[in-house]
Copies of this chain bind each other. A is one copy, B any other.
């Protein structure tokens, strides 16, 4: 019997903090627990890691099973392993955070069986386990990351207006930003492509743009700082 097997093992789970943006505020996707413990409470989507899958696959599988979300931006956040964080016994959780575009959002009620629902970041219900702590850490990470990595685009439609992305930055950073300075700086990076398409609606149409990842990657390799 290999050395490995002489030790009792903690159980291993993954949990996902799923962020969305509705045009004015940051939101988080939660699921209502259908089993004990914390039956009926809201929690982060997640579950046990299987023996043959890697950690990211486990996170993506749970995400799809519980929220129908596929092919989202997903990045590892932190691992939580306080004894006592799960009343069932020793459970270590590898936490991830995901960013999803509005056009990827699951239609409400689409999720099979137990409920999943979006909550505004400043109107969250109490959460099961230590999920509030995990969520707080994910939010910190997002706030830090968005300032020097182009992750904001993962929360917007593929084609978006400059006003939309400014609203996103203002919502996440929690302060207003000067419109002219913001646009000047963002466009100077030269990884946003202005399209010949415009929004419709009640007022002056706004030009749509898309993020050019190739251009960004090229710049990033040349040792480049984002810093919005």
Contacts and interface: CB of A to CB of B under 8 A. Distances in A.
Interface of A: 2-5, 7-12, 35-36, 48-55, 76, 78-83, 86, 88-92, 94
Given A4-B88, A9-B9, A82 B54 contact: yes
B55 A92 contact: yes
B12 A9 contact: yes
A92 B12 contact: yes
Contacts of A94: 79, 81, 92
Contact of A89 (B4, B54, B82): B4
A124 to B, nearest CB: 24
Given A10-B49, A10-B51, A76-B78, 16 more contacts: A2-B89, A3-B35, A4-B11, A4-B48, A4-B89, A4-B91, A5-B89, A7-B50, A9-B11, A9-B12, A12-B81, A49-B92, A53-B83, A55-B79, A55-B81, A79-B79
Contacts of A10: 9, 12, 49, 51
B51 A8 contact: yes
Contact of A83 (B2, B36, B54, B91): B54
A9 B7 CA distance: 11
13 contacts: A3-B35, A4-B88, A7-B50, A9-B9, A10-B51, A51-B90, A53-B83, A54-B81, A55-B80, A76-B78, A79-B79, A79-B94, A92-B94
